[in-house]
Structures are given as C-alpha cells and as structure tokens.
Amino acid sequence: MPKAKATDSKSDKSPRKNTSLRLDNKTLKALKIRAIEEDTSIQRLIERLIQDYLKKTKK
C-alpha cells in the first residue's frame, strides 16, 4: 500500500512537519483502538485533540 504524502490534506494547504511521541504501551494501544473505532488514524486523533486544546486555551 503506497504511503500517503504529508501534504495530501485537502483542507490544509500548509506543509506538514513530522514529530515523534513516546507513549507507554497501554496509552498507544488505547489510541489505536479508538482510531479504529472512529475509522481514523492516530495522527488525526492527536491533531484534533491538540487543536481543541489550543482553541480552549487561546488567549
């Protein structure tokens, strides 16, 4: 299966940057399960969570 390009997002015209996270196994497993349940990816889940957080804490 071909890997999707980081700039394939239609709603976001800005280029994306990579980052890494270190999560304990239990947390990562729970994220994988939630991503499957929501028919999405871990990356999209985390990005949505961060965006929601930034909106709530906007000064």
- Tens-place pLDDT, residues 7-27: 444 555 778 899 999 999 999
CA distances from residue 42 to 9, 28, 55, 58, 59 in whole angstroms, order as listed:
15, 9, 20, 24, 28
pTM exceeding 0.85: no
**Mean per-residue pLDDT, 28-34:** 97
* Average per-residue pLDDT for the chain: 85
Q: Which of 6-10, 17-21, 40-44, 51-55 has the lowest mean pLDDT?
A: 6-10
Would you state the pLDDT for residue 10?
55
Residue 16: other Cβ atoms inside 10 A: 13
Instruction: Say how many residues make up the chain.
Output: 59
Buried b (16+ CB within 10 A) or exposed e, 30-56: ebeeebeeeeeeeeeeeeeeeeeeeee
